[in-house]
Amino acid sequence: MWKYPKKRLWQCLVLKIKGRWISMSMGLYIHIPFCLKKCHYCDFLSFSLSNKKILYQYVYYINKEVKLWYKTADEKKIDTLYIGGGTPSLLPPHLLRKIMSVLSQHFSLDKNFEFTIEANPGTLTYDSLKGYVGEGVNRISLGVQSFDAAVLKKMGRTHGEKEVEESVVLSRKAGIRNLGFDLIYGLPEQTLSQWENTLKKALEMEPEHVSVYGLSLENQSLWALKKKKGELFLPDQDTLADMYFLSREILLAHGYEHYEISNFAKPGFRCRHNLKYWRLEPYIGIGLGATSYIGKCRINNFSSYDDYYKSLEKGELPFETVEKLSLDQEMAEFMFLGLRTAEGVDEGEFFEKFEADMYQVYGKEIKFLLEQGILWKRNGRIMLNPCYYPVANEVFLRFI
């Protein structure tokens, strides 16, 4: 990855003008990096919110960034908006209104756009939810993680089962018809039956969407450090696989579609925003540390407040790095992101996007994986056999 020089960025955006996706509506992500307190396993870009004034300042800069993107991006149509974090539900509705007012003045928001806000149980009230719905929010992604009180405490979460129940009731009352739960398995000392219990409790609350993530400990989280010292006892690989397949079994039996390795949805409730990532479609990321994919470039915003704010003060987009993907990289990403989804990769779409035959570019790899039963082929598409979902990353290495 190379450091961002202005001229190269311009070349990327010129490429975008020539690119086929120009008429496509984009996705927009806004990062809100504040939480009540840091969870013990978390290494996301998020910080404890010490002072509410910081939120006002942050929203001011978000709006500056929106205006700069307006000047830079040719495509102004947005059909999915995702506010993630951190804990975006710490944002009072009047601050969300400030963002939406600038956004709608500069971008054209599709009338059927999907508008998700991430929320943590215990941070939502009926008034805040009504306020969000008033701004167009139609999907809530709730960070439930577990229904085991002892485990939640160990994780450093600030809520329990009661707060989840309240959030669900209040969301429904405020008019939310599309509610997603995030759950984590593979937690320290977690057993298969404890995980089953979490899944069952989640299903009792009838969310339209469920994401199940295996615990992943990277970098500097408190738990990652504990693990290094041998003080954290995690389930073994076999138990993790059992937990994963148990989730699949239970969720399929309850009418959910397993549409991406970690994601399940009731028919008609797949997350349209996240599908853009897996289909390698363009999106803009706004906010501290946010990532964009536009004009065949992967762009990362500064992740330090100082650099982020200074850059915007100078009237520049706050890019720390801009990586122009080579054709090989782009094709490889299209393959392994597409293979994360149940729909897989379509031969015709590959050809339209790259003017190349997928079976010529990856003939050897695809042939081998089909022969091994790791990939399936149906109606011009190839897809990953779900038995191999837990080891998908190893399969994807073949395309890199």
**154 contacts ligand SF4 (rule: CB under 6 A):** no
Min dist. Cβ of residue 184 to ligand SF4 (A): 9
Which positions ≥6 away from 371 have C-beta within 8 Å?
none
* Among 85-93, 211-219, 272-280, 350-358, the segment contacting ligand SF4 (CB under 6 A): 85-93
- Which of 8, 11, 19, 38 touches ligand SF4 (CB under 6 A)? 38
Q: Residue 313 is which amino acid?
A: E
**186 contacts ligand SF4 (rule: CB under 6 A):** no
* Binders in 97-126 for ligand SF4, by CB under 6 A: 120
What strands, in cross-sheet order, belong to the sheet with 139-145? 257-260, 263-265, 209-214, 179-185, 139-145, 108-119, 77-85, 26-32, 283-286, 291-294, 297-301, 319-324
* Among 32-40, 198-206, 230-238, 334-342, the segment contacting ligand SF4 (CB under 6 A): 32-40
* Torsion angle defined by CA atoms of residues 114, 27, 265 and 174, in that order, rounded to the nearest 10 degrees: -30
**46 contacts ligand SF4 (rule: CB under 6 A):** yes
Closer by beta carbon to ligand SF4, 35 or else 117: 35
**86 contacts ligand SF4 (rule: CB under 6 A):** yes
* Among 37-45, 106-114, 159-167, 284-292, the segment contacting ligand SF4 (CB under 6 A): 37-45
* Among 82-90, 127-135, 209-217, 355-363, the segment contacting ligand SF4 (CB under 6 A): 82-90
The C-alpha atoms of residue 86 and residue 49 are separated, in whole angstroms, by 10
Closer by beta carbon to ligand SF4, 109 or else 184: 184
**245 contacts ligand SF4 (rule: CB under 6 A):** no
Closer by beta carbon to ligand SF4, 87 or else 178: 87
Min dist. Cβ of residue 159 to ligand SF4 (A): 10
**85 contacts ligand SF4 (rule: CB under 6 A):** yes
Phi first, then psi: what are they for 322, rounded to 5°? -130, 120
Closer by beta carbon to ligand SF4, 39 or else 358: 39
Q: Which of 161, 144, 267 is nearest to 213 (CA)?
A: 144
**172 contacts ligand SF4 (rule: CB under 6 A):** no
Instruction: Show the beta-strand stretches assigned E in 204-363.
Output: 209-214, 257-260, 263-265, 283-286, 291-294, 297-301, 319-324, 345-346
Between the alpha carbon of residue 379 and those of residues 48, 259, 346, 352, 353, the distances in Å are: 49, 17, 9, 17, 19
- Which of 26, 28, 39, 345 touches ligand SF4 (CB under 6 A)? 39
**44 contacts ligand SF4 (rule: CB under 6 A):** yes
Closer by beta carbon to ligand SF4, 58 or else 113: 58
Burial class (CB in 10 A: 0-12, 13-18, 19+), 338: buried
* Among 33-41, 163-171, 184-192, 357-365, the segment contacting ligand SF4 (CB under 6 A): 33-41
Closer by beta carbon to ligand SF4, 46 or else 274: 46
* β-strand pairing of 283-286 with 26-32: parallel
- Token output for 226: 């504990």
Write out the DSSP string of 40-108: TT--SS-EE---THHHHHHHHHHHHHHHHHHHH-S--EEEEEEEEES-GGGS-HHHHHHHHHHHHHHSE
- Which of 42, 73, 96, 290 touches ligand SF4 (CB under 6 A)? 42
Closer by beta carbon to ligand SF4, 46 or else 190: 46
Binding site for ligand SF4 (CB under 6 A): 35, 38-39, 42, 44, 46, 85-87, 120, 143
